[in-house]
C-alpha cells in the first residue's frame, strides 16, 4: 500500500500523469513486431507512453550525429504511426553524452538536425539521455547537460511547435542526495524540465515517499521514475514475472517509465501490474494485480502458473522462491516435492500467445528440468527414493546427471535451490561431491563453504585439461585461484604465499588492483595483446558470455601486462604482474599474479563460451611454472 499520494498534472490526487515503458536496456532490442504488440496492449491498459531508447541502436547512442538510413527511418515512422493509432505516444530518445562536445555550437546544431529528421518522419515527442557516461568534473558536467537541454528546448522543440517540458535523464540518475552534478544541472536546466530517476539505487526493491521527497529536493525538478523493473539485461539467465512491489508516491513524482526485459512478451506479466499501480497507487494490491496479470497474459490455463510463481521475486537479490525455501528449511520434503512437481509440469498450452510461448521456451524447459530433479532429491531426502532400501547408486547417478543438466542450462528457474537440494541428497547417499580431478600440476581453487556451480565446474574443467585441481587450499599447490566466493581472510592469506595466483575476487584486498568494479551488463571483452600467450590466439572483440552478465574489471599496477580490456570502460579484464614487481598496494609480488574477468558465477557452464574457457586455460598455463 502506497503511503503517499500520487499527484496528477493538474495537482490533484490520483493517477500518475506520465505512465509508460522505456525500452532502455542493454542487449538485443525488441523486434519491430514486439513493439507493435506492446503498443496494442500498452494503450489498452493505460501505459500510454513508449520511450524509444535501446542501447544497441547505434544511431540512438554511439552514432547519434548520423542520420538514420532510409529503411531504419521508415521503420521508426511506422512505429510512431502505429503507436498513435493505439493511443500511445512514441517518444524518441537520443543519447549523445558519450561524445558530445558541449562547448561547440556545431554539436548542438547536429543534435537538433538529427531530431529534425525524426520530426520529418512524424515523431512529435523527444527526450535527452545522458545516462551511463563518464562523470569527470561533475558540477561542470551537470551545468553543460542543463544548458544542452535548454538549448534543445529553445532551438528545436519550441520552433517545432512542441510545447512539452524537456524530458532528460541525467548522468547522476540514482540516489537521493544533493551532489555537485545536480547543483550544476539545476543552474541551467529549464525550470519545468522533468528528470528521469531510478530511485535510491539503479535497481531497487523499494521506492519510498522519503526517497522521492529527498530526490526531488536534490534536483529541484519534478521526477519520472525510470523503474528498472522488470529489466533483466544484467542477468540474462533469469526472467522476472512477478508484480511490482514496494513503490510509494509523493509530490514531485509525476510519472513512471518501466524498463522491461529483453523478452518483450514475458515482460507483460510485470507491466500489467505497473499499469495498475500507476493508475491507482493508493488502491494497488500486488497479489490481486498479479492474478489479473496472469489471466490477461496467459489466460486461465494453469500451465505457466508455477513458472511464474518461481520467477516472481523482486528485487533480483531477494529469495527466489520463498515457499520452497520455507518447506526445505523445515525439512518438509513432501511439501517441497509438491511445489517442484508442479514446476516439472510447466507447459505452454495451445492457447498461449505464440510470442509468449516462444520467448519463454528456454525457461519452460529449465522449469521442467529443475522440477524433475528437485522431486527426485526430495524423494531421497524424505526416505522414499530408491535409495531407501533400493537402488542407491541409481539415485546417485540420476542426481549427478540432473545436476550436470541444470548446470549446463542457460535459463535459470530455481537453479540454486534445486542444486542445493541435489547436493544434500547426494550427501545423504554418501556420495562425495568435492574431490580432486586430474593428475598434473596441483591447482587449489579457493571458494566458500558452498561452492558455486561455476567453481565446481572450474575444478572439473582444469582436471579434464591435464591438471590436478581441487576445491580448497593445499600447502603443495602449484597455483592458487581466488574466486569471488572465497572469504577476504582466505584470499589475503593466499596472497602472501610465493606461489602463482590467479584471481577474480578481492582484487583490491590482495593488491592486484587499486580499484575494481563489476559492470552489470557485458558479454564480451577486447583482446589488446594478441601476441601474449594468455590471449589463446584470439584478437579484437571476443564474446565470452552467452548472455549479458557481470564482468570483473580493475585498475592494475603500472608493471602489469594487460592482455584484454572491457570494451566499454577500457579497464583491464586480463592482466599479469610478474614476480617481484610492485603490486597496487606497494608490496612486491612474491610470485606471478594474474587477474581474470569472471565474477560471481565463475566458470558457470550455462554462461561461459568456448572462447572464455580457452582464455582461462591459457591464463592458467601461462602462470604455471
The x, y and z cell numbers of residue 494, run together, are 593466499
Catalytic annotation, pick one of 34, 48, 132, 523: 132
What are the φ and ψ backbone dihedral angles of 251, each rounded to 5 degrees? -55, 135
DSSP 149-187: HHHHIIIIITTTT--SPPEEE-SS-S-SS--HHHHHHHH
Whole-number CA gyration radius for the chain: 26
In angstroms, the CA 272 to CA 389 distance is 50
The x, y and z cell numbers of residue 212, run together, are 522521492
**What letter would DSSP give residue 302?**
G
H helices of 280-321, in order, are 286-298, 305-310
What are the φ and ψ backbone dihedral angles of 420, each rounded to 5 degrees? -65, -40
Query: ω before 319 within 30° of 0 (cis)?
Result: no
478 is known as an active-site residue: no
Residues 6 or more apart whose CB falls under 8 angstroms from that of 409 comprise: 362, 365, 366, 369, 415, 606
SS3 of residue 255 by DSSP: strand
In angstroms, the CA 91 to CA 114 distance is 14
Cell 523499494: give the residue: 206
SS3 of residue 376 by DSSP: helix
Strand partners, 502: 481, 594
Contact predicate 183/217, CB 8 Å: no
Q: How far is CA 611 from CA 553, 562, 621, in A?
A: 18, 18, 15
Q: How far is CA 306 from CA 215, 343, 423, in A?
A: 38, 5, 23
Burial (CB < 10 A; 0-12, 13-18, 19+), residue 205, is middle
Residues 6 or more apart whose CB falls under 8 angstroms from that of 262 comprise: 25, 27, 28, 30, 232, 233, 236
SS3 of residue 222 by DSSP: strand
**Nearest to residue 55, comparing CAs of 83, 91, 21, 95?**
95
In angstroms, the CA 304 to CA 306 distance is 6
Cell 601461462: give the residue: 622
Contact predicate 492/459, CB 8 Å: no
Cα angle 275, 317, 616 (rounded to 5 degrees) comes to 125
Catalytic residues: 132
Amino acid at each position: 500500500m502506497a503511503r503517499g499520494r500520487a499527484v496528477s498534472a493538474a495537482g490533484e490526487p490520483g493517477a500518475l500523469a506520465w505512465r509508460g515503458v522505456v525500452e532502455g536496456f542493454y542487449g538485443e532490442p525488441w523486434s519491430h513486431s514486439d513493439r507493435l504488440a506492446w503498443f496494442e496492449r500498452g494503450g489498452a491498459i493505460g501505459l500510454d507512453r513508449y520511450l524509444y531508447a535501446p542501447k544497441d541502436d547505434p544511431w540512438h547512442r554511439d552514432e547519434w550525429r548520423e542520420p538514420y538510413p532510409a529503411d531504419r527511418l521508415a521503420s521508426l515512422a511506422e512505429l510512431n504511426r502505429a503507436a498513435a493509432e493505439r493511443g500511445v505516444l512514441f517518444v524518441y530518445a537520443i543519447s549523445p553524452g558519450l561524445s558530445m562536445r558541449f562547448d561547440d555550437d556545431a554539436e548542438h546544431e547536429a543534435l537538433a538536425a538529427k531530431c529534425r529528421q525524426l520530426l520529418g518522419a512524424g515523431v512529435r515527442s523527444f527526450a535527452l539521455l545522458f545516462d551511463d557516461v563518464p562523470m569527470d568534473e561533475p558540477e561542470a558536467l551537470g551545468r553543460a547537460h542543463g544548458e544542452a537541454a535548454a538549448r534543445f528546448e529553445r532551438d528545436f522543440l519550441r520552433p517545432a511547435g512542441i510545447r512539452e517540458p524537456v524530458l532528460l535523464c541525467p548522468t547522476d540518475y540514482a540516489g537521493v542526495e544533493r551532489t555537485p552534478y545536480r547543483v550544476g544541472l539545476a543552474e541551467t536546466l529549464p525550470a519545468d524540465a522533468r528528470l528521469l530517476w531510478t530511485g535510491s539505487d539503479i535497481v531497487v526493491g523499494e521506492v519510498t515517499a522519503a526517497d522521492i521527497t529527498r530526490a526531488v529536493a536534490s534536483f529541484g525538478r519534478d521526477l519520472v521514475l525510470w523503474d528498472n523493473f522488470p529489466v533483466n539485461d544484467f542477468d540474462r539467465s533469469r526472467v522476472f514475472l512477478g508484480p511490482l512491489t514496494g513503490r510509494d508516491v509523493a509530490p514531485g513524482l509525476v510519472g513512471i517509465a518501466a524498463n522491461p526485459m529483453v523478452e518483450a512478451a514475458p515482460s507483460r506479466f510485470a507491466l500489467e501490474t505497473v499499469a495498475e499501480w500507476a493508475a491507482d497507487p493508493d488502491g494497488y494490491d500486488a497479489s490481486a494485480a498479479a492474478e489479473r496479470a496472469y489471466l490477461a497474459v496467459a489466460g486461465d490455463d494453469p500451465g505457466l502458473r508455477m513458472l511464474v510463481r518461481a520467477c516472481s521475486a523482486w528485487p533480483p537479490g531477494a529469495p527466489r522462491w520463498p515457499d520452497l525455501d520455507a518447506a526445505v528449511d523445515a525439512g518438509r520434503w513432501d511439501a517441497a516435492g509438491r511445489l517442484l512437481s508442479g514446476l516439472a509440469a510447466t507447459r505452454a498450452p495451445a492457447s498461449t500467445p505464440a510470442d509468449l510461448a516462444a520467448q519463454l521456451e528456454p525457461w519452460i524447459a529449465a522449469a521442467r528440468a529443475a522440477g524433475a530433479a528437485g522431486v527426485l532429491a526430495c524423494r531421497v531426502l524424505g526416505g522414499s527414493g530408491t535409495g531407501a532400501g533400493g537402488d542407491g547408486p541409481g539415485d546417485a547417478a540420476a542426481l549427478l546427471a540432473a545436476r550436470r543438466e541444470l548446470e549446463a542450462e542457460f535459463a535459470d528457474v530455481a537453479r540454486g535451490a534445486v542444486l542445493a537440494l541435489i547436493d544434500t541428497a547426494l550427501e545423504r547417499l554418501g556420495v562425495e561431491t568435492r574431490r580432486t580431478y586430474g593428475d598434473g600440476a596441483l591447482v587449489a581453487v579457493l571458494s566458500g563453504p558452498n561452492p558455486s556451480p561455476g567453481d565446481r565446474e572450474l575444478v572439473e574443467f582444469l582436471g579434464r585439461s591435464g591438471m590436478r585441481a581441487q576445491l580448497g587450499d593445499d600447502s603443495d599447490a602449484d597455483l592458487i585461484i581466488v574466486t569471488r566466493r572465497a572469504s577476504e581472510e582466505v584470499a589475503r592469506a593466499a596472497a602472501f604465499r610465493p606461489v602463482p595466483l590467479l584471481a577474480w575476487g578481492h582484487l583490491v584486498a590482495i593488491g592486484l588492483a587499486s580499484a575494481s568494479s563489476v559492470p552489470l551488463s557485458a558479454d564480451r571483452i577486447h583482446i589488446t595483446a594478441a601476441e601474449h600467450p594468455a590471449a589463446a590466439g584470439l584478437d579484437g572483440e571476443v564474446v565470452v558470455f552467452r548472455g549479458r552478465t557481470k564482468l570483473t574489471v580493475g585498475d592494475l599496477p603500472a608493471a602489469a601486462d594487460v592482455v584484454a580490456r572491457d570494451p566499454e570502460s577500457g579497464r583491464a579484464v586480463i592482466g599479469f604482474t610478474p614476480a617481484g614487481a610492485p603490486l597496487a598496494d606497494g608490496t612486491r609480488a612474491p610470485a606471478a599474479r594474474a587477474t581474470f574477468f569472471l565474477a560471481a558465477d565463475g566458470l558457470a557452464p550455462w554462461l561461459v563460451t568456448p572462447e572464455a574457457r580457452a582464455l582461462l586455460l591459457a591464463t592458467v598455463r601461462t602462470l604455471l611454472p
